[in-house]
Structure 1
Amino acid sequence: MVGTGKDTPSPNATAAAAGAVRPGRLIDSPPTAAAPHGALLAITAVKPAGQDTVEVSTRPATISELLGQTWANIKRALDPHQIQITPQLKNLKATYVPNPDGADASASAALELDMSDAVPLPGGAQAALNGSLELDPSVMFSYQGSRGMLAPEQARVGFDLGAHARWHLTAGLTGSTGRVKIPVATLTASPVVMVGQVPVVITLNVTLCAEVSADGTVTVDTTQAIDGNWAIHADYTKTAGWTSTTEPVATTISPVNASINGHASVRTGLEADGSVALYDALGVKATVEPYLRADVDGTVSIDSANRVPTVQGQARLYGGLDVNGAVLARIAVLGTPLAEHDIPFPVYHHEWPILTRQFALPGAQPAR
């Protein structure tokens, strides 16, 4: 929609349209088939095109032009029924789980994805994946306008991703595989939030993948559970410019049942690659990956019903969380001068021990 377009009014509306379509006027469009992420444009020129039509030239407009001196602080939970789901596994089923505690920051239902599939791995191996993933995403937008139209005093755009996942992965891995991603689904939503009387389109995209990697020869049969809540946002102030923040409110990773056999370093995880943007132009993108990592030389077996793991050889298990991403800078959508590239933010990495190294000798009990 950026550039030159044509608007064809009805004959009775020609005079009114001629007055409404004029240079300087803003076009603030909700999502449509032609502009699935909405459109924020400013009319730069209007000229007759014949047969009661006009030819309109436009440029990208800024949020500051749209909102001016408005103040807003919005956090909106996404209605899961309005999330478009594109399955990446053959057997993926979507259901909606009622949330009795649904409030402003929590939807009345959560989206649950049930998965089951076998996927090929490098070297001719195969992994079997099944489990469920429950998501409770929300988007956030705050804005504090200032006098004039150059830039706001401050602004924030971001997303909050709450997730509960449980999945069972079995695989035989040989050599250095690198990180193998198993795509699960892509989720897209474009909610419209009202800032006073003005609609603002926020676009959220999330791609979900299971991930497995190994350096060595190992067989893996593990059932994992992950609970987490992660807030990712980009912030702007006149004094500091753009910064980004990761807020891992909570992350719990539990190897409910795991059997790992071989000599290798192996890692399994769940990756959420998400972005949120105003009119698909400025915002923040991030990859959130909670994972389980194991260094094994021998056999380790963990059963949630037995507090003492069985280890033959030696093993270390760790839970971890990686977050990396960037501020999306496509146009000067806030009126601030921005380069046409992404601005990376510092990587967040945290890892903690679940099981320290253990030995089991013949006839001896395993040590804790």
Structure 2
Amino acid sequence: MRIRKGHLRALMPVLTASALLFASGCASGSGPSTASGAAPADRAEASAAAADDADGTLAVKAAPAAASTALARPGDTGTRARRAALKVSSYDRHTGRAVISQTVRQPPAPSAPSTVTGSTTPSATPSATPSGPPSATTSSAPGRTAEPGRSTAPARIAVGDVIASAPAPGAPQGLLAKVTQVMGETGRGTEVQTAPTTLDTVLGDDKAKGTVPVDPSSFDVERLLPDVKVSWARTGGFHAGPEGAKLPLGSLRVDLRAGVPTPAGAPVHADATVAGFVQVAPEVDFSYGGGGSSGSAAGAGHSGPASAFLGVSGNWTSRWSLKGHAGAAGGPVRVPFAKLHADPVLQVGSVPVVVNLDLTCYFEVSGDGKVSVAVEQDLKGDFKAGGTYAPGKGWTPVDESTMTGTPVSASLTAAGHARATLGAQAAVGLYGAVGVTADLAPYLRGEAQVAASAAVDTGGHPTAAATGAWAVYGGADLSGALRLQLSIFGTPVLQRTIPLGSLHREWKLASGAV
């Protein structure tokens, strides 16, 4: 049969609409419904899930730039949260109210543009009247009623649902919350009342473990002194800074130049200076071991995982110096010179776990002001600080550090002591709740003892002699604490603060005699 071009153009809109209706009908007739807002998995997601299930452990990796929201629903089979076609449009941390909206997946575009005059666009969801929009009442989930004055449009979220979201408006550190009340529909989405919840409500009996590097370019930097420079290197880009192009990939470097001004009112001698750089490649360590219980078992009086770990680790490199007369009345004086903050998102199966990482770089000077010091050293090593949980033992600290120092130059004159620290204090938490604080404090220390004598011999000639010894040392201290907020895993914390312990190492850089 021969079809003219004009007839073909007239048939195209009808054929396109029929194809869309047929595709939507097939989609609705097979597979589970997505009325809860859970997005159907694509092939890549299905392959990743299969890889996760191969050994029973969820993959822990850096989340993509547009991390999806995860939804856990108590009535669903299984304990694992699912990716959902939802997003947090706004959140008020003071009231706990949030607006949840849908992310709509558009149907495939037709092969040729067309316009049907006098008819409506077919719905992707079949209904008894496919020529018009779906009815709000037929899509509404049972048991969800809006407050007076609210729209009765379908709410794709229900009381009891748990939402895990990447950073969102009003929740810059991510959101992990349980819906306690559905307020109704607004022009921006469904308004709900939420309450804080714990990770076991979305991870349940699953297991996950991994270490994820933090993108050094993701840090927000606040310079607290004028002579501070920041540089970083990552795959695909470098940030200009002191020797920036020579940094190892994944490294963040903060340089503190000589001539740092003495803070106003600080009792530190103006001629004592600390200069150099701190370079660190931070990583977040995360593990979760389900099996002890799940969110569904919370009603039985016991909840939480069988194991958990949260910590921060990384490689450390620095070259820095202490020069001049260092003195501080009343004890050491600590001067922060840079604050850095990042909110990396870990993808744990389908769940976006938001980690909040803060680094404060500082120098600290103490001494009696009697010795003249000129010490410079190269320092390399690594560190790990965090907390690990096991039933019956609770949370226990983990602190590890391996540091080695090599002197570049060292000298000391006169008698007395001096010490300078160029360190970093880290705080790591989840969804805005700080769980671990760690203070890595590499230092330089010098001390000298000199004894002098003078006399006049029988011939009237004066004589003088001086004996003594001096030495300079490098060292590193690692200390910190576990905080109550580690209960975000769904584990009990019996103490408000658990000391991380103190790890101390010291080595001699140089020595001499007078």
Deviation at 1:208, TM superposition (A): 0.7
The TM-score with structure 1 as length reference comes to: 0.82
1:287 pairs with 421, 439, 447, which one? 439
Moved more, 152-161 or 331-340: 331-340
Relative to its length, the structure with more strand (as a share) is 1
Aligned pair in 2 of structure 1 residues 157, 122: CA closer, same or farther (>3 Å)?
A: same
Q: How does 1:326-365 map to 2 (within 5 A)?
A: 326-330=481-485, 332-338=487-493, 341-355=496-510, 358-360=512-514
1:27 corresponds to which of 140, 158, 163: 163
2:378 corresponds to: 225
What corresponds to 1:194 in structure 2? 347
Deviation by residue 1:167-225 (Cα, 9 ceiling, x = unmatched): 23323234645212232311211111111111111111111112221035223232222
Q: Which residue of 2 aligns with 1:136?
A: 281
Trace 1:122-271 onto structure 2 (pairs within 5 A). 122=267, 125-146=270-291, 147-149=293-295, 150-174=303-327, 176=329, 178-248=331-401, 250-271=402-423
SS in 2 for 1:231: strand
Aligned mate of 1:7, from 77, 99, 114? 99
Q: TM-score by structure 2 length?
A: 0.60
Q: Which has the higher helix share?
A: 2
Deviations 1:132-179 (A, max 9, x none): 222111111011112432110101110113111112332323464521
Residue equivalent to 1:115? 256
Q: Which residue of 2 aligns with 1:38?
A: 174
- The alpha-carbon deviation at position 51 of structure 1 amounts to 7.7
- Name the SS of the counterpart of 2:488 in structure 1: coil
What are structure 2's unaligned runs of at least 5 residues? 1-92, 103-132, 141-152, 237-246, 296-302, 452-465
Residues 272-320 of structure 1, C-alpha deviations (whole Å, 9 max, x = no match): 1001112132531111111122221259xxxxxxxxxxx9721233222
Q: In structure 1, what is the Cα distance between the partners aligned to 2:495 and 2:97?
A: 24
123-132 or 272-281, larger mean C-alpha shift: 123-132
Q: Which amino acid aligns with 2:170?
A: A
- Larger deviation, residues 72-81 vs 334-343: 334-343
Distance (whole Å) between structure 2 residues aligned to residue 122 and residue 159 of structure 1: 34
- Structure 2 residue 217 is matched with structure 1 residue 76: no
Alignment match, 2:430: 278
* Maintained 8 Å contact 1:142/1:157: yes
| Aligned CA distance change for structure 1 residues 52 and 158 (closer, same or farther; 3 Å) | closer
Looking at CA atoms only, which structure, 1 or 2, has the larger radius of gyration? 2
Unmatched runs of 5 consecutive residues or more in structure 1: 101-105, 300-310, 361-368
Cα distance in 2 for residues equivalent to 1:152 and 1:202: 19
Fraction of identical pairs, as percent? 31
Secondary structure at 1:330's aligned position in 2? helix
Which residue matches 1:363?
none
Q: Which moved more, 1:64-73 or 1:174-183?
A: 174-183
